[in-house]
Structure formats: structure tokens, C-alpha cells
């Protein structure tokens, strides 16, 4: 038997209905925040991804040589394509550019929980605005995309961190450039790495003082109040230059937190410098959204969403420098989360009416009626192979139709059809010619059983 490729999913109608629901909620949330939808090709030149992430990325791509000899790859993410689109027209696009997209992404990785070889991702990005107002706006739409499902601060939290602050901290400790990037990488994995292993990795950068530095990282990451964090950062500044840069950055923090507070989003925000994110291209505020652990204060599972500022990416791809901030949110983890929280509504795919025809003679009239009802926008079903009368009613009940329309011998002879409200059992007789209008009224008001 032929099987699916590993890491891919079939979507049966009920799965598709659920996915449509997810996408619809996301789309509406994004549009409410003024984001416009764009789209990009599924297949891209391989170079687009190696340019951004280096040649190692190829091992994680679905890539091949096409019939024209081009090296191509299925997109693993859409940020590079997006940066290209924006970069190509950056001079004429009205700023800020606020765009969103929901698309399938592919990665050649070993499939595991919450992580397949194909998944759909919502992406929202803002280009052309360097100030924290853009970060606040982006965080607002990200939170909205979760809240729109009925999830609240008791369900999830956004952990907010800052690459700029980390860079300053490391600079204060005498670590800069690529060494700083490496240390950030170690910090990124701190939560899931044993202490001894972390110390070993810090050794090349801090030598015998590794233990002290790790202690300071730990203290910083444990601070979740802005005031405490600010004091801690000030206390570490070794000279006036870094002190001034730190003070400036803390001012930007204050602006961001103030905007989030004004939008009444503070209950969702946790200052948490433990987040640095693996990607090298992030430059400023970064964040990840986690579901809260059912018991206790911690977080559970894989990140539901993640994002941040990446001001250098567009220029790195060869376009004019353009500030950018964005986030992504995947359908796999999101669906799991919604199921867990019972926030997926029952999917109703039932027709509005089911037509019951008495016999062959009535069937022509029934088909004609079906056409007219459907033209009037009414979801209409009937049995393709007309079984007995009782059987047709059974089908009407099973499919969940709200109304049965009976095209009966006596009714038809008088130019009528009979409507039956399948919930109340109430019936009424209406003229065949006026059936669509009568059905519409019956769907809205129901038919009393009296």
C-alpha cells in the first residue's frame, strides 16, 4: 500500500474544516490590526536560503535540481522571500508596511511532536519603522491571534527579551562580535542544558570566571520586574560609555512597556531575558509565546509563536537597509493547544435543507427546486439514489439539515411543497414557486410544532 511521505499530513474534510477555522480566526485578527495579505512562491532558488542562513541550511531543505538545471528548494520559511518582495519595492512602498501571510512551509528534518516536515504558519511583519511602537504593534497582533480563540492570560504568556540588552551586557563583560553570538547561543539553550555542560561551553569565553558569569546570567534571567532588571543592568556597566548606552536602551524598553500597558496587554507580558532565540539575524526585542504549565508558575511545551526585530536582514539580502519586526505562529502547536484548552468549536458542515421526493414523478420537481434553492444561496442536499420515503427522512436527520422540504404527490398536484422543521417537528405547506423565500424565512424563524 502506498503511504504518505513521512512528516506530511492528509487533511480529511473534518481536518480541513478545523484548519479553515484556524486560518479564518488568524486572518480576521490580522486584518483587524490593519495587516494586508501577500503571498510568495512555494519553490524558490536555493540561493535565497543559503544567502540568509549559510550552506548548512541545505541539509534541512527539500531541494533539487529542476529540469532547467536550476538549484531550487521548497521554502522552509517565508522571511527571505518577504524581505525580497519588500526590498525590491522599498522605495515606493508606503511605510509602515504591515503584511501578513498564512502559508505552508517545508523542512527536511526528523519529524517529532509538534514539528513535521510540512506545517502552516501565520507570519505578520512590519517594515520601515525603527521605534518600539512597531514592536508594540506586532506584539499586539500576535497576542490578538491567540486571544481571538478565547485564550487569555491564564492560558499563555509572552516572554519578552532583548538582544540589544544582552549585547550591551556582554560588551560590559568584554565579549563582543562573534564571541558574543556564540555566548548568546549558549544562553539560548541554558534552560535545557545541564549546568556542567553549560560551564564547559562558557569556559573558552570566560575562563575560570565562567561560574561567576553564569551566576550573573542566572540572576538577570530571574528578574521579571522592569525596575529590578534596569537596576541590575546599570550596576554592571563598567564605564560611562556603556552606562549611557544602557540608559538609552532602558528608555526604549520603557516606551515599549508603556505602549503595551496602554493597550491593556500587560497581563500577557513577562520580562524574561532567558529568551534570546537561535536565529542569528535578530537585532533588538525578541519574544516567544508559551502556554502556561497547568500546575505551578512555569511554561509547558514548545513555543506557540516567536518573533522579534531583524533590522539587518533586508540589507543583507542586497537591498536598501530597512527596519523590520515580525513573528511566526504554527498550525501544529496551535491546534494541539486549542484542543487541550477545548477552544475548537464543533464544526458544522450540515446543509440547510434536505429535499425528500415522493417518487419518480416528483423527482424532476425536486431537482428543479434544488437548483433554485442553491441559486438562492441555501445549502441544499438530496439523495442521489432516491430510496424510500422513510429512508430519505433518515438521511435528512443524519446529515443534520435544519429543514426537510417534502415534494409529495398531493402537495405537488396542488402546486405546493411541505416544509418540516427537523428540530421542532413543525410543518407548513407553501407554494412551490415561492419555496426559496419561504425556506429562508423558515431557516431564520423556525416552524412551530403547533
Minimum CB separation of residue 53 from RNA in Å reads 6
Q: Which of residues 32-71 bind RNA (CB under 7 A)?
A: 53, 60
Minimum CB separation of residue 71 from RNA in Å reads 20
Read off the C-alpha cell for 259: 505602549
3-state secondary structure the chain: CCCCCCCCCCCCHHHHHHHHHHHHHHHHHHHHCCCEECCCCCEEEHHHHHHHHCHHHHHHCCEEECCCCCEEEECCCCHHHHHHHHHHCCCCCCCCEEEEEEEEEECCCCCECCECCEEEEEEEEEECCCCHHHHHHHHHHHHHHHHCCCCCCCCEEEEEEEHHHHHHHHHHCCCCHHHHHHHHHHHHCHHHCCHHHHHHHHHHHHHHHHHHHHHHHHHHHHCCCHHHHHHHHHHHCCCHHHHHHHHHHHHHHHHHHHHHHHCCCHHHEEECCCCCCCCCCCCCEEEEEEEECCCCCCEEEEEEEEEEECCCHHHHCCCCCCCEEEEEEEHHHHHHHHHHCCCCCCCCCCCCEEEEECCHHHHHHHHHHHHHHHHCCCCEEECCCCCCHHHHHHHHHHCCCCEEEEECHHHHHCCEEEEEECCCCCEEEEEHHHHHHHHHHHHHHCCCCC
> Is residue 390 close enough to count as binding RNA by CB under 7 A?
yes
> Is residue 258 close enough to count as binding RNA by CB under 7 A?
no
> Is residue 3 close enough to count as binding RNA by CB under 7 A?
yes
Among 267, 359, 377, 431, interactor with RNA by CB under 7 A: 359
> Is residue 110 close enough to count as binding RNA by CB under 7 A?
yes
> Is residue 6 close enough to count as binding RNA by CB under 7 A?
yes
Among 21, 23, 62, 389, interactor with RNA by CB under 7 A: 389
> Is residue 113 close enough to count as binding RNA by CB under 7 A?
yes
Q: Could you give the CA distance from residue 295 to residue 168 in angstroms, rounded to a whole number?
A: 35
Of 226-234, 363-371, 400-408, 439-447, which part binds RNA (CB under 7 A)?
400-408
Among 284, 351, 408, 436, interactor with RNA by CB under 7 A: 408
> Is residue 410 close enough to count as binding RNA by CB under 7 A?
yes
Q: Could you give the CA distance from residue 292 to residue 301 in angstroms, rounded to a whole number?
A: 9
> Is residue 238 close enough to count as binding RNA by CB under 7 A?
no
Q: 53 vs 246, which CB is nearer to RNA?
A: 53
Nearest partner of 75 among 112, 19, 120, 38, judged by Cα:
120
Whole-angstrom distance between the N-terminal and C-terminal Cα of the chain?
56
Nearest partner of 128 among 158, 159, 95, 161, judged by Cα:
95
Binding mask 174-213 for RNA (x = CB under 7 A): -----------x---x--xx--------------------
> Is residue 393 close enough to count as binding RNA by CB under 7 A?
yes
Among 218, 371, 425, 448, interactor with RNA by CB under 7 A: 425
Minimum CB separation of residue 238 from RNA in Å reads 30
Q: Which of residues 298-327 bind RNA (CB under 7 A)?
A: 302-303, 306
Of 226-234, 241-249, 368-376, 401-409, which part binds RNA (CB under 7 A)?
401-409
Of 43-51, 137-145, 215-223, 278-286, which part binds RNA (CB under 7 A)?
278-286
> Is residue 434 close enough to count as binding RNA by CB under 7 A?
no
Among 140, 411, 435, 442, interactor with RNA by CB under 7 A: 411
Q: 93 vs 332, which CB is nearer to RNA?
A: 332
Minimum CB separation of residue 385 from RNA in Å reads 7
Where do we find the cell 505551578? Answer: 296
Q: 249 vs 277, which CB is nearer to RNA?
A: 277
Spatial neighbors of 322 by CB under 8 A, at least 6 apart, are 86, 87, 90, 127, 128, 311, 314, 315
Binding mask 73-102 for RNA (x = CB under 7 A): ---xx-------------------------
Among 277, 337, 351, 436, interactor with RNA by CB under 7 A: 277
Among 195, 315, 394, 448, interactor with RNA by CB under 7 A: 394
With CB under 7 A, what is the number of residues at the site for RNA?
Answer: 51
Q: 134 vs 358, which CB is nearer to RNA?
A: 358
> Is residue 288 close enough to count as binding RNA by CB under 7 A?
yes
Please give the residue ranges that form the binding site for RNA (CB under 7 A). 1, 3, 6-7, 53, 60, 76-77, 109-113, 185, 189, 192-193, 277-280, 288, 302-303, 306, 328, 358-359, 385, 387-391, 393-394, 396-398, 404, 406, 408-411, 418, 420, 422-423, 425, 427
Amino acid at each position: 500500500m502506498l503511504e504518505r511521505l513521512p512528516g506530511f499530513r492528509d487533511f480529511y474534510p473534518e481536518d480541513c474544516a478545523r484548519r479553515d477555522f484556524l486560518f479564518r480566526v488568524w486572518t480576521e485578527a490580522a486584518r483587524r490590526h490593519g495587516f494586508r495579505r501577500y503571498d510568495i512562491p512555494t519553490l524558490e532558488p536555493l540561493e535565497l536560503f543559503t544567502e540568509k542562513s549559510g550552506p548548512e541550511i541545505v541539509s534541512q531543505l527539500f531541494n533539487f535540481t529542476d529540469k532547467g538545471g536550476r538549484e531550487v528548494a521548497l521554502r522552509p520559511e517565508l522571511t527571505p522571500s518577504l524581505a525580497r518582495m519588500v526590498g525590491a519595492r522599498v522605495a515606493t512602498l508606503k511605510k509602515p508596511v504591515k503584511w501578513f501571510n498564512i502559508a505552508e512551509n517545508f523542512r527536511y528534518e526528523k519529524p517529532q511532536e509538534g514539528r513535521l516536515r510540512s506545517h502552516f504558519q501565520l507570519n505578520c511583519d512590519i517594515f520601515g519603522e525603527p521605534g518600539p511602537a512597531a514592536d508594540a504593534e506586532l506584539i499586539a497582533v500576535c497576542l490578538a491571534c491567540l486571544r481571538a480563540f478565547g485564550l487569555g492570560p491564564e492560558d499563555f504568556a509572552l516572554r519578552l527579551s532583548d538582544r540589544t540588552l544582552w549585547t550591551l551586557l556582554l560588551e560590559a563583560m568584554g565579549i563582543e562580535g562573534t564571541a558574543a553570538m556564540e555566548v548568546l547561543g549558549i544562553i539560548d539553550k541554558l534552560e535545557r542544558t545541564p549546568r556542567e555542560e553549560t560551564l564547559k561551553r562558557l569556559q573558552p569565553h570566560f575562563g575560570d570566571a565562567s561560574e561567576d558569569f553564569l551566576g550573573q546570567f542566572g540572576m538577570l534571567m530571574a528578574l521579571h520586574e522592569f525596575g529590578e532588571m534596569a537596576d541590575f543592568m546599570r550596576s554592571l556597566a563598567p564605564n560611562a560609555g556603556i552606562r549611557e548606552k544602557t540608559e538609552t536602551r532602558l528608555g526604549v524598553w520603557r516606551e515599549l512597556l508603556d505602549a503595551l500597558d496602554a493597550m491593556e496587554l500587560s497581563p500577557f507580558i513577562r520580562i524574561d531575558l532567558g529568551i534570546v532565540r537561535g536565529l542569528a539575524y535578530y537585532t533588538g526585542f525578541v519574544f516567544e509565546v508559551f502556554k502556561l504549565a497547568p500546575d505551578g508558575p512555569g511554561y509547558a511545551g514548545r513555543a506557540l509563536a516567536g518573533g522579534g526585530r531583524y533590522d539587518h536582514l533586508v540589507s543583507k539580502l542586497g537591498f536598501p537597509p530597512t527596519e523590520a519586526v515580525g513573528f511566526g505562529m504554527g498550525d501544529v502547536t496551535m491546534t494541539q493547544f486549542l484542543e487541550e484548552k477545548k477552544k475548537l468549536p464543533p464544526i458544522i458542515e450540515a446543509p440547510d435543507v434536505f429535499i425528500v421526493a415522493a417518487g419518480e414523478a416528483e423527482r424532476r420537481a425536486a431537482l428543479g427546486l434544488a437548483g433554485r434553492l442553491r441559486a438562492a444561496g441555501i445549502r441544499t442536499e438530496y439523495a442521489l439514489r432516491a430510496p424510500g420515503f422513510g429512508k430519505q427522512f433518515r438521511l435528512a436527520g443524519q446529515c443534520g439539515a435544519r429543514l426537510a422540504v417534502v415534494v409529495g404527490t398531493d402537495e405537488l398536484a396542488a402546486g405546493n411543497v411541505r416544509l418540516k422543521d427537523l428540530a421542532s417537528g413543525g410543518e407548513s405547506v407553501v407554494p412551490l414557486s415561492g419555496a426559496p423565500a419561504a425556506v429562508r424565512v423558515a431557516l431564520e424563524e423556525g416552524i412551530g410544532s403547533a
